[in-house]
Amino acid sequence: MKTPRAVRAACALGAACAALCTSAAGGRAQSLLDRPPNLSGGWVGSSGQLYFNFMHRFIASGAPERKVTNVPTFTLAAGLPFRTLVGMEYSTNSNLAPRYPNEWEVFVRHAALQQDRGAPVDLAGQVGYNFAAEGADGEVSLARRQGPLRLIAAGRVLSDPFSAGDRRFALAGGGTLRVSRYFALAGDVATLMEREEGEEVAWSAGVHLAIPGTPHTLSIQASNTAAYTLQGLSRGDKTRRYGFEFTIPLTLNRWFGSSAERAPAPTPPAAAQAAAPADSAAAPTGPVARAGMRNLAFVPGTITIQAGTTVEWTNNDPLSHSVTSDNGSFDSRLIGSGNKWRHTFTTPGTYTYHCTPHPFMKGTVVVR
Ligand SMILES: [Cu+2]
């Protein structure tokens, strides 16, 4: 058996980077509510977070044995600065290459455009190396959220694991429909161009849940794919697999972040508080800028406004957040899921803030 030393090296490197890169980009947990079981849709996490996804599918053989074969798949990834994710996939019971049942892939993914940052679409690219196919694979994906619907399309270039040198191409598409803040329906299909014998259209369907009060999401799913690599996700077979996926974001910023930024701030003079009176639910009289919290991040991370503008934050997450000034000049207290909070900024300056329960969530308001 080949020892995937490069995988371990990449892993260690990723973990080290994640531990070191404690940027102020804020945390963005992977949410299964934003992607179907077999498409990543340009998700890159956030700098300084480590991600562990555990996907477990099983196959039941026919009667009378009804033997259950377990097929666990792991994703370990680290968010880096510049909207980049490095990671690895480890899939057991792969059927890609003979005598290589445990398939490995190391990858780098970059999000060139993000709708959450004002772009019309999410555009991302991924390149990686698959140790079972012994070749490089790539994917470009395009996604757009429109109301409760998020649609994703992807094109892939794959090395051919069976005949040396030939490139293969695959197309994939799918989406999620958010039924509520905690619940989404999802599905996708993928196909290799010019499928060969034994290669079926790959598909998956899932019910996705956000676990209230936590950054975790859970998917209960069915699919006919064997491995969570780009190779595996492009090939279906005749075996239906059932299972679940559980996403575990490990927010390293929480433990490794700069302590200076979290030190208790001096209480501002009473006059500063009086100058910014409109923290109430009363409708503001001046201009209003909208911001929010989504997937454990303030969106947008930095908002620039004219003095006299009211910023209205909407909590789009299934858990409570706060908008708390780093210097103590304003504090929303806990804003429940789906609720809004407003603050009017009357004095020009740069106001940094964080979330009290999730100190790795950071935002800035620039008042001109
Ligand atoms: Cu929070």
Question: Which whole number is the average pLDDT over 40-59?
Answer: 84
Residue 134's region, left for phi above 0, alpha for psi from -120 to 50, else beta, is left
The model's pTM is 0.65
pLDDT in tens, 252-286: 655 544 333 333 333 333 333 333 344 545 677 78
Q: How far, in Å, from the CA of 145 to the mean position of ligand 1?
A: 23
**Are 158 and 172 within 8 A, CB to CB?**
no
Neighbours of ion ligand 1 (CB under 5 A): 321, 355, 357-358, 361
Q: How far, in Å, from the CA of 354 to the mean position of ligand 1?
A: 8
Q: Which residues pair with 205 in a beta bridge?
A: 187, 222
Q: Which residue has the higher pLDDT, 160 or 120?
A: 120
- Order across the sheet with 288-293: list the strands: 298-299, 288-293, 309-315, 340-345
Q: How far, in Å, from the CA of 226 to the mean position of ligand 1?
A: 36
**Are 105 and 229 within 8 A, CB to CB?**
yes
Q: Would the pLDDT of 110 be above 50?
A: yes
Q: How far, in Å, from the CA of 322 to the mean position of ligand 1?
A: 6
Give the per-residue pLDDT at 309: 94
Mean pLDDT rounded to a whole number for the chain? 81
pLDDT in tens, 63-77: 888 888 888 889 999
Q: How far, in Å, from the CA of 282 to the mean position of ligand 1?
A: 24
